[in-house]
């Protein structure tokens, strides 16, 4: 490890991808440890995907929902109904001796439709005394009748917790202990034994009417738990109200059903609510994950109208858990879930009770974020180290295997143990690290390759310069000629590049290659005898034939060089220039007699540059020609000796060519 760290500083380019991999890994690990999963919307979307493929159990047939549905409201009349209607439904249920009855209807105000309340209203506002003497006492006060019906029955009434102090606080938490069958449900002392439970502190509570609370078996809050994306995946089980631990409606119903107190402990996964032999894992906020059985209206449901009509025998409810709630559209008592955007709230309570009874409540370990960060660190470190120590193939295989494990292992845990580990950030971290280190590795390899290519290019240029030097040693007058013609060719080819006709043929590489190759245009002269090459006077016809062979000699020399060195773009163009720079546009040139565009562009450019420099400079066999005369000659030879396009470019850069000619001397 020490040697690797030392190498990372001595060879930073080689180890840069791995270093970046470590940095990316550390950033992801920090994010996971600092951001609870409850605040990550995308993690919950992944949870929805896994949970949608969870092998769903059939709903428990011991759970029954009494539904205030659209048809019931249409038949009985507008909501809210006179309270005796609800009381009568409860009476019929209670006759069947259910294990518990959960009311998901908050009755926090007096029933204004009670005859006794109407009598008081008429007396106070209209000074009219209504005679109710002939009305049975049980029908005068619907609230009293409701209290009478639920007295002694396993009915759990709902309450609502508030973040703000309520003007008229309810009386449903006056004492620290609520008694059910002489067993406590809630004690303030329990809050001191919850090191891992940081449930939200509520400052207000809306209770059912005091007489309902006093005659009910228990109360429980019905507050929802809505995630940041607006979906309901969890349901609150316990919350704190003014430092007192409050049970939810579902938990209160379970305590009544089992006739047992609940306790809160901590196991390896986090806080757990124990209720006899049943366990409810909760998160640090006191919420439990709901293991949905399917879309809404999945449990056996009885319309309340059907119950009130006498179509259902009370014996049907014996030993059952009965929940009374509303699914009527006008009441809008629904939640948005990943399975159903109009999931009835009453079924949220039914489902969590079903989960507890069936023992399949889902949970996310309280230490998940810490474990997640460790997994990310291990995966990132593994990939980063593999980049250093192993081949790319090993890295690719390892990344695929890790991706497979991270994708399927959470599903296996969820489906077999009901424990969920979100793999989302770990997978994103793996992919990001892999892409990051592979991109940087490719970048570094490209830079290294470019460096090697530059070295090869420099070597090629050195070879070309050496070969050109050989030609210069044979004829000292050609030394300046070689340098000038290179600059002429470079200037001409750049000017041609600006023409639409050549924009696709001439690119920067072509300019580089032709500029480097042009000094070899007369390399074949090394094979010409000195008495001909250095002859001060005019060559004879036979000597001229020999002199003209320098074009093919040069091409042959360069071809032999390529055979030994391998393919070389510089030498390929040098062959064109050496072999064909004496060809003429009209086909009267040598050594082949090519015509027009069949002459390579490099040779056509070299022809102009070569003749221009030969004319304006003194040679042992001739005097120098003036610039103006030279330009006129080349202009007149356009279309016969020279390519007209090259001549046009030549005229356009006349000033640049003159500067080169006057600056570089033999």
Give the range among 199-203, 570-574, 624-628 with minimum mean pLDDT.
199-203
| Claim: this prediction has a pTM higher than 0.75 | no
Question: According to the model, what pLDDT value does residue 197 have?
Answer: 63
As given in the structure block, the two tokens for residue 332 are 């809008």
Question: According to the model, what pLDDT value does residue 354 have?
Answer: 95
**Between these two residues, 627 and 450, which has the higher pLDDT value?**
627
Rounded to the nearest 5 percent, the helix, strand and coil shares of the chain are 55, 10, 30
The proportion of the chain whose per-residue pLDDT surpasses 90, expressed as a percent, equals 43
Is the per-residue pLDDT at 663 higher than 80? yes
Question: According to the model, what pLDDT value does residue 193 have?
Answer: 46
Cis peptide before 551 (omega within 30 of 0): no
Give the range among 97-106, 142-151, 201-210 with minimum mean pLDDT.
201-210
Rounded CA separation 444/246 (Å): 61
What CATH number does the domain located at 475-663 have? Answer: 1.10.3210.10
Is the per-residue pLDDT at 321 higher than 90? yes
Closest CA to 361 of 57, 10, 20: 57
Rounded CA separation 349/334 (Å): 12
Question: Which H or E run contains 101?
Answer: strand 100-103
Question: According to the model, what pLDDT value does residue 191 have?
Answer: 43
pLDDT tier at 119 (50, 70, 90 boundaries)?
confident
Q: What is the mean pLDDT of residues 184-211?
A: 64
Q: What is the mean pLDDT of residues 41-47?
A: 91
Is the per-residue pLDDT at 308 higher than 90? yes
Distance of CA 50 to CAs 46, 299, 365, Å?
6, 23, 17
Rounded CA separation 65/89 (Å): 12
As given in the structure block, the two tokens for residue 45 are 């979307």
Is the per-residue pLDDT at 25 higher than 80? yes
Question: Which H or E run contains 612?
Answer: helix 601-616
Q: Phi/psi at 314 (nearest 5 deg)?
A: -55, -30
Convert the pLDDT of each residue in 479-518 to its tens digit.
Answer: 578 888 889 999 999 999 999 999 889 998 899 889 888 8
Question: According to the model, what pLDDT value does residue 178 have?
Answer: 38
Give the range among 192-196, 435-439, 457-461 with minimum mean pLDDT.
192-196
Q: What is the mean pLDDT of residues 45-51?
A: 89
Question: According to the model, what pLDDT value does residue 337 have?
Answer: 94
DSSP state of 532: H
Dihedral sign of CA atoms 161, 166, 171, 175 in order: positive
Most confident of 31-35, 285-289, 321-325, 504-508: 321-325
**Between these two residues, 569 and 430, which has the higher pLDDT value?**
430
Contact partners, residue 263, CB within 8 Å, separation at least 6: 190, 273, 274
Convert the pLDDT of each residue in 231-275 to its tens digit.
Answer: 999 999 999 888 788 899 999 999 999 988 888 888 888 899 998
Question: According to the model, what pLDDT value does residue 170 have?
Answer: 59
Q: Quick check: 229 and 255 in contact, CB under 8 A?
A: no
pLDDT tier at 378 (50, 70, 90 boundaries)?
very high
> Which runs of consecutive H residues, i.e. helices, occur in 165-240?
210-215
Question: According to the model, what pLDDT value does residue 325 have?
Answer: 95
pLDDT tier at 280 (50, 70, 90 boundaries)?
very high
Q: Chain-wide mean pLDDT for the chain?
A: 85
């Amino acid at each position: 490890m020490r040697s690797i760290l030392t190498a990372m500083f001595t060879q930073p380019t080689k180890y840069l991808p791995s270093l970046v991999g470590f940095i990316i890994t550390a950033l992801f690990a920090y994010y996971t440890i600092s951001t609870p999963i409850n605040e990550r919307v995308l993690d919950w979307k992944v949870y929805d995907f896994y949970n949608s493929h969870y092998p769903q159990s059939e709903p428990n047939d011991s759970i029954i929902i009494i539904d205030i549905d659209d048809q019931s409201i249409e038949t009985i009349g507008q909501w809210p109904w006179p309270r005796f209607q609800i009381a009568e439904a409860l009476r019929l249920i209670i006759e069947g001796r259910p294990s518990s009855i959960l009311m998901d209807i908050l009755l926090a105000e007096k029933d204004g439709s009670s005859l006794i309340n109407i009598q008081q209203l008429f007396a106070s506002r209209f000074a009219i005394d209504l005679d109710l003497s002939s009305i049975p006492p049980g029908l005068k006060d619907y609230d009293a009748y409701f209290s009478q019906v639920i007295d002694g029955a396993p009915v759990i009434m709902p309450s609502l917790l508030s973040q703000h102090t309520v003007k008229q606080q309810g009386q449903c938490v006056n004492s620290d202990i609520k008694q059910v069958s002489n067993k406590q449900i809630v004690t303030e002392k329990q809050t001191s034994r919850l090191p891992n439970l940081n449930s939200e502190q509520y400052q207000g509570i809306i209770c059912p009417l005091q007489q309902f609370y006093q005659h009910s078996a228990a109360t429980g809050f019905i507050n929802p738990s809505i995630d940041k994306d607006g979906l309901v995946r969890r349901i609150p089980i316990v919350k704190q109200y003014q430092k007192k631990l409050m049970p939810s409606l579902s938990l209160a119903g379970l305590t009544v059903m089992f006739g047992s107190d609940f306790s809160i402990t901590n196991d390896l996964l986090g806080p757990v609510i124990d209720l006899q032999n049943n366990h409810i894992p909760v998160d640090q906020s006191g919420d439990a994950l709901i293991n949905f059985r399917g879309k809404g209206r999945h449990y056996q449901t009885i319309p309340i109208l059907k119950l009130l009509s006498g179509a259902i025998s009370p014996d049907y409810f014996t030993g059952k858990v009965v929940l009374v709630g509303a699914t009527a559209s006008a009441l809008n008592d629904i939640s948005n879930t990943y399975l159903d955007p109009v999931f009835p709230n009453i079924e949220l309570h039914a489902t969590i009770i079903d989960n507890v009874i069936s023992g399949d409540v889902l949970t996310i370990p309280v230490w998940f974020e810490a474990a997640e960060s460790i997994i990310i660190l291990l995966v990132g470190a593994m990939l980063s180290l593999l980049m250093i120590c192993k081949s790319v193939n090993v890295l690719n295989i390892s990344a695929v295997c890790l991706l497979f494990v991270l994708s399927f292992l959470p599903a296996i845990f969820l489906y077999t143990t009901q424990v969920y580990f979100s793999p989302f950030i770990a997978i994103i971290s793996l992919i990001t690290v892999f892409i990051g280190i592979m991109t940087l590795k490719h970048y570094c390899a490209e830079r290294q390759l470019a460096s090697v290519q530059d070295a090869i290019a420099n070597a090629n240029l050195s070879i070309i310069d050496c070969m050109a030097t050989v030609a210069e040693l044979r004829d000292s007058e050609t030394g300046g000629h070689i340098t000038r013609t290179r600059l002429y060719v470079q200037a001409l080819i750049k000017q041609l590049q600006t023409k639409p006709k050549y924009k696709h043929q001439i690119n920067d590489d072509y300019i580089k290659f032709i500029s480097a190759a042009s000094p070899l245009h007369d390399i074949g002269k090394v094979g010409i005898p000195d008495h001909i090459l250095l002859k001060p006077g005019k060559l004879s016809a036979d000597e001229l034939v020999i002199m003209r062979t320098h074009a093919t000699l040069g091409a042959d020399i360069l071809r032999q060089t390529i055979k030994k060195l391998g393919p070389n773009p510089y030498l390929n163009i040098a062959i064109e220039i050496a072999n064909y720079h004496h060809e003429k546009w009209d086909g009267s040139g040598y050594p082949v007699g090519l015509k027009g565009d069949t002459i390579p562009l490099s040779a056509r450019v070299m022809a102009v540059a070569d003749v221009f420099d030969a004319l304006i400079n003194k040679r042992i066999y001739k005097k120098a020609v003036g610039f103006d005369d030279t330009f006129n000659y080349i202009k007149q030879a356009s279309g016969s000796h020279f390519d007209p396009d090259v001549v046009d470019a030549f005229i356009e850069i006349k000033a640049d060519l003159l500067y080169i000619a006057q600056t570089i001397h033999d």
